[in-house]
Structures are given as structure tokens and as C-alpha cells.
Amino acid sequence: MFKKILIANRGEIACRVIKTARRMGIETVAVFSDADRNALHVAMADEAVHIGAAPAAQSYLLIDRIVEACRQTGAQAVHPGYGFLSERAAFPEALAKAGVVFIGPPPAAIIAMGDKIESKRFAKAAGVSTVPGFDGIIETAEDAERIADEIGYPVMIKASAGGGGKGMRIAHSRSDVRDGFDRARSEAKSSFGDDRVFIEKFIVDPRHIEIQVLADGHGNAIYLGERECSIQRRNQKVIEEAPSPFLDEKTRAAMGAQSVALAKAVGYASAGTVEFIVDRNRDFYFLEMNTRLQVEHPVTELITGIDLVEQMIRVAAGERLSIAQADVKLNGWAVESRVYAEDPYRGFLPSTGRLTRYQPPAEGPMGKGLVRNDTGVFEGADISMFYDPMIAKLCTWAPDRATAIATMATALDAFVVDGIAHNVPFLADLMRQPDWLSGDLTTGFIAKHYPDGFSGRSPNPAETERLALVALAIELRRRIRLDAMTGRLRPHAGSVQTDWVVKFGRDAVALHVVQVNASDGTDFVARVMLDDEEGQRAGEAHRVVSHGLPHEPLWRGEVGGAPVTVKTAAIANGVRLTAGSVSVAARVMLPHVAALDDLMPERAAPDMSRFLLCPMPGLVVALHVAQGQEVKAGDTLAVIEAMKMENTLRAEKDGVIAKVNAKQGDSLPVDAVILEFA
């Protein structure tokens, strides 16, 4: 067994590999760029080597720097994680020349399977079902249009060397093909250094289901069940689960057998994933083989009890698999939510900045389930524009699917992230979608259920009352603490006031405190006062009990005997309360103050319709207009690259460009003015 390994990666996957290596008694070496000097994986490793500037092309993608880091530290093997150099055959070849072991498959397998065009041809030859399409080299947009016409719409334009949703576009008509071809090639060139693309038929209402395979260097190969990865946005996975709620045992066995046959045919040795598109009739088609560890590997680990990173290390060290196919048992259900630094309220645009607060739910038992959180950040860390926007992979396990989902919903409600925009509210909303709960999934799930994007959800009447009671609990506790301080000029003169109004914007909830059971305000009984034709009457009484400390970002307690967890954040004259995908600003007032507040005018937001603002911190890849130019609604104005993805900004209406404030190559902050319209 190796004594020291180097992890040629960063973020959560580097931390994940370090954990297993540490448990196996193996020393670890981290590598880092300028942007990652203070990163978590650097702190966790036994040693760390600086390898270059912040852009990946000047650090994590430089093979010679990684090889030199191995030489400096005496690392005997390298784990590539995923992304970066993990699927470049030149990397293990260079390591082999330096006498360093690659913890992954042989270069020949990477070459055969890592290229989507070649892998599809190989799969056909091996008897694996494949999607109809054109897998030759496509030189021009005109060729792409002709090929798409022949295949029949819709079609998928995909980067040959792609992955993670990069370099991938769906075209529903000829007019979509040209822009999709150009964008896919540009993203592929930027992300992978390879602008080749191919086109295949897009299966309507498909599921994305993948098989985890494990093989050694002695001809043994097994599969460890499947993962359902159909919940995707822009072809990038958002939620994964294992097993799939759709597959029956017969289909699982057939997909597993084909995956193992493909792995053996290509001489595979390590952990790998064979991805399939599955239609409504459970017919499945080979999509690609990822010759590396997958982002979503934890859900397989949770239902099988097999540490995939450990198995990769043991296979690389020359060991035979100690697990036979008959030993693989699927136990319970696991769900993974990818927590991203992106703003779901602004079209999921990337967000960068400092994590002023980062408090994930505690790992370990939660109710009838279990929580696991794979992360590579910490409170105070910076989220950089140079890398993938993933903050963490929150995973839950339970004996059954419903409990695993319920555990995930509870865990997301307790996940606190401040300082940047993030997608936790969106994930929390997904967990409560009826079709998700029933397992009625396709890769178009998010487009179907969020056709206009995500804007959160307004609370229903019961939720409004519950949040009003939580707001009152927070305010009572705050006021009582203030009254206990000595030396105040105007201390509270008596007992707790009984009548209160909680305002949510212009909406208000009147509350009457019936009984105070704890002098610090942590236990009281209040009624919601209801208005009807006869005036105000008392509604149902609720006992409200607060747990924890006042300064904590989570309010935990009980309302009417039911456990409640609400995220809290101080705002001017109030508190923002977030429960799942519901987020409201609450202000607690005495009735006469609320009456005066009703008279205050509302402040209107400034009109910014004349400006094209940069929607996220990013790099100006292209500007398609000039001063004085007329544009029509839908015309491309600019292309902004952030976190390895290109975003096309289009005109929302007809107009004339009055001024251009940016140029190609500029790095812009969020809301920077790119263009002004006349």
C-alpha cells in the first residue's frame, strides 16, 4: 500500500479523498493555486505545494507542475478527483514516466471512453445500445444544421471532450442549431481545450440513470447498482438518488451487465460510471462512460457501504477486488443535493464572495435518517470566480425513499449560508414538489416545474401565522434581554406587552399574548387575532417554545407542539425569516406603531430598464453590438463567462445602443453597466 499520495484537485473532492487516505493511514499532499492558498483541502493535507496562478489553465491543468510536486514530496501515487486532469490520458502517461502511480483507469481506457465520439463507436462495437446520431467531426455551423435536419429535432449538440454540462446545447429547430453549435464549441474550447462537437437525437422525456462499476487490474469487474440523476438544470445534475425509483430488478440487471461488459472490453481498472438515457418504456441507451469518480458517488456509498475512494486506491496498488457481485446489497435509500454558489432568484447566475457564515447541518443521525456533508469550504472562505460554484454535497440516507427525502428537507432547512447567493431555497422547494416525491421524473423536470425560473414561494395562511409567532418569539426575547441590561435611559417599565402586530410588508398579523411561562420569553402562549365582519376575535391559542441562543442564525423550537426550524437574519427594524423556499421580512410592532407605519409611503425601486447590467461577476467573452446600433428583441448583446460557463445576454426589447461601457476581456463585478440604451 502507498505511504503517501497527492491529490491533483481542490475543493470538496480533495477533502473527500484526504478523509479516506487518512483513515487508511496514508499521508496526503495537496496542491493549490493562488486563489486556494487558504483553502480547506490545503489545511487538511499533511503537505501542500503551490502550483501556479488562479486560472485552472495556469495551475490545476498543468501536468508538469503536478509531476514536479510529486517529485518534491515523494508522493507515490496521484488521485485526480474529477474534472481538471482526471480524464486526460496524457496525465497518467506523464505520471508513469516519472514512476508515479495514477489512481484511476489505464490511459487506453481513458482514450477509448473519455472521448464521447470514440466511446460511442466503441460501445456500438461492444454491443451496447446507443442513441441515434452523427458521431463524425462537424466542421461548420452549416454542417451542423444539415446533420440536425437529417436526424430530426430535437437534437443534442455535445462537446466530444465535455462533462458537467459544459459544451452542451439542445436545439429544437434549425434556428437553434447555429447558436448552440457556436456556444458549445466555445465552451468546450475554454473548458477542455478541445472544440470538437457531435450531434445525437434528444430523447423526449428521458431519465438519466447511471451504473457505478468497479474493476481491478486482474480482470474482475462488478456493478454497484444505479443512480438516478434526472433532476438537472442546463444539463448539470442538481439532485441525485440511489437507487432509482423507476428501475425494476430486470432492467437494473440488464444495465449492470452491459456496463460490466463494456468495462471488461475496454480493460477498465478503477471506479467508473456508465451513463444511460432511459425512456418511458425502460429502454436504455448508452450515453457515455466517465472514467473517473463521479460527483454523486456518495449516494452509492451510502446504500452499499462501500468506500469507492478506498477501492480506487487499493486497485491502483495492485490489489484484487475483495467484493464479488453477489456481495453487493442495496440497503435503504440515499439522496444528494448539490449546494451551489448561484442565485436562483436571478436565473441561477453564479455568485462569488466571502462566506460570512457557513453552518451546515451536523453530520450523523437525524431522526430516522442520516446526514453526510461533503464540502471543501469553511466560514470565512472565499468563493472564487475561477472554479466550479459547488459549495457542498449534502447527502441523506434512510431506510426508504420517503424518509430519505424528508430527512433532506429537514437538513436543508438547517443549512445556513450567508455572504453569497446560494441555491438552498431552490433545493428545499424541490424536496416538496409532488412529482419529485412520487418519483415522476425526467431530465426536463426543472424546466417543467419552474418554466419562469425560481422566485420562491409565498407562505400559505398557516405558514404565515407560524412565522408571525416565531417573529414574536424572537422580538420578545430581544426586548426582555435589553430590559435586563443596566444603565439604559428608558428601560421597559413593566411586564411583557400583550398585544402585538407582525408586519410582512403591507400584510399584518395581530397577536395577543395570553400567558408567559418563562421570564426570558422562551416559553409563552399567544393567540392569532382574526378580523371578520363583527370585528376582531381570538383565534386558536399556540404555545411557542424557543430553544438555543438568541444570536444563533437558526431559530429552533416548537409552535403548537410541532418542531419548527427557521433561518433568521437581522434586517432594518426586523428580521428575515426563511423556512424552506419561503422567505419573508418580518417587523414586530406595538399596535399604535403599526397604525402609524401604515401611513408611510412605499419606496419605489429605480428604473434600470435602460441599462444592460452584468448579472454576475465574470469575464466579457464577446460583445456583439456597437454604439448607435439598432437591436431587436432576442438579439445577442454580449457573452459573459463565469465559473466555467458562458452566459448569453440578449435584448429584451427593440432599441438602439447609446453607449458601450465594457470591452472584450474585461472582468466585471455584478451589476456593472455593460451597455446603455437610448
Give, in order, the Cα–Cα distances in Å from 200 to each of 130, 135, 152, 168, 203: 10, 8, 9, 11, 9
Q: Kindly report the CA angle at 256 between 255 and 260, in degrees rounded to 5? A: 120
Tell me the C-alpha distance between 224 and 35, whole Å: 37
Give the bridge partners for 221, in sequence order. 215
Angle between helices 174-192 and 141-151 (to 10 degrees): 120
Q: Looking up cell 454604439, which residue turns up?
A: 627
Q: Looking up cell 399574548, which residue turns up?
A: 513
The DSSP annotation for 598-653 comes to TTSPPPPPP--TTEEE-SSSEEEEEE---TT-EE-TT-EEEEEEETTEEEEEE-SS
Chain centroid offset of residue 205 CA: 22
| Residue 288 annotated as catalytic | yes
Please identify which of the residues 145, 240, 288, 641 carries the catalytic annotation: 288
Chain centroid offset of residue 480 CA: 41
Tell me whether strands 562-571 and 101-102 are parallel, antiparallel or unpaired.
unpaired
The DSSP annotation for 104-127 comes to S--HHHHHHHHSHHHHHHHHHHTT
Tell me the C-alpha distance between 115 and 122, whole Å: 10
User: In angstroms, how far is the first alpha carbon of the chain from the final one?
Assistant: 69
> Would you say 595 and 485 are in contact if contact means Cβ atoms under 8 Å apart?
no
> Would you say 145 and 217 are in contact if contact means Cβ atoms under 8 Å apart?
no
Tell me the C-alpha distance between 298 and 307, whole Å: 9
Q: 390: left (phi > 0), else alpha (psi -120 to 50), else beta?
A: beta
Active site residues: 288
